[in-house]
Amino acid sequence: MEFESLEEGEKFYKNYAHHVGFGVRKSSNKKGESGENKYKKFVCYKEGFKVPLRNGNKKVRKRKLTREGCNAWVGFRKNIGGNYEIYKFYEGHTHVLATPSKCHMLKSNREATSVHRCLFKSYTRANIGASISHRLMKERVGSFRNVGCSKQDLKNFQRDLKVYINDADSDMLIQNFKRKKKINPSIYFAYEVDDDLHLKRVF
């Protein structure tokens, strides 16, 4: 099979994996002189083995082992025409595949898209947490299988957003007032900062 881009090939293999019942993750690649991927390999999410982490005498948080040496993988290579073709495909798995009712929970089949993030931010402004937000999304699409992301994905997005904002929340507040004033000049606001330029109060 041949694809116009590597992204199309990845999407096709992930759709195939979702239909069969396993997750996918990226593996090795080889770049050409122009910096584009010449070879790219995608493997089953249970490929390889995790090496236990050792941190001296400190306790390391135990994680569930998900890898068990599965050999299923697919390889893409760039041909003379500039497209990507499948040059190697191994189908066999060493583990039980996910049932159709569980396929939507596989990590490679979940993604917090821009629609999920926009909805979740709207729910957050109404003081609704991740759990109830996820249930509300389920009510919109009919079932959890159709949501496309998990409750934990929403929590991870919220965590990443807080890290991104960090200490810029007060600046974002003032910039928001300035944007509102440009739209409606009759809006008035005032604010005061301390000696370290930290926001103290806003009217």
**What are the pLDDT digits (tens) for 91-134?**
988 888 888 877 777 877 787 888 888 888 888 888 898 889 98
4 and 86 inside one domain:
yes
Reported pTM: 0.62
Of the residues 101, 135, 151, the one at which a domain ends? 101
Number of domains within the chain: 3
92 and 121 inside one domain:
no
18 and 96 inside one domain:
yes
137 and 184 inside one domain:
no
68 and 21 inside one domain:
yes
User: Whole-angstrom Cα distance, residue 120 to residue 115?
Assistant: 8
1 and 23 inside one domain:
yes
* 57-77 pLDDT per residue, tens: 555 566 666 777 888 999 999
Give long-range contacts, CB 8 A cutoff, 24+ apart: 136-143: none
N-term to C-term CA, the chain: 63
Please give the residue range of the domain that contains residue 73.
1-101
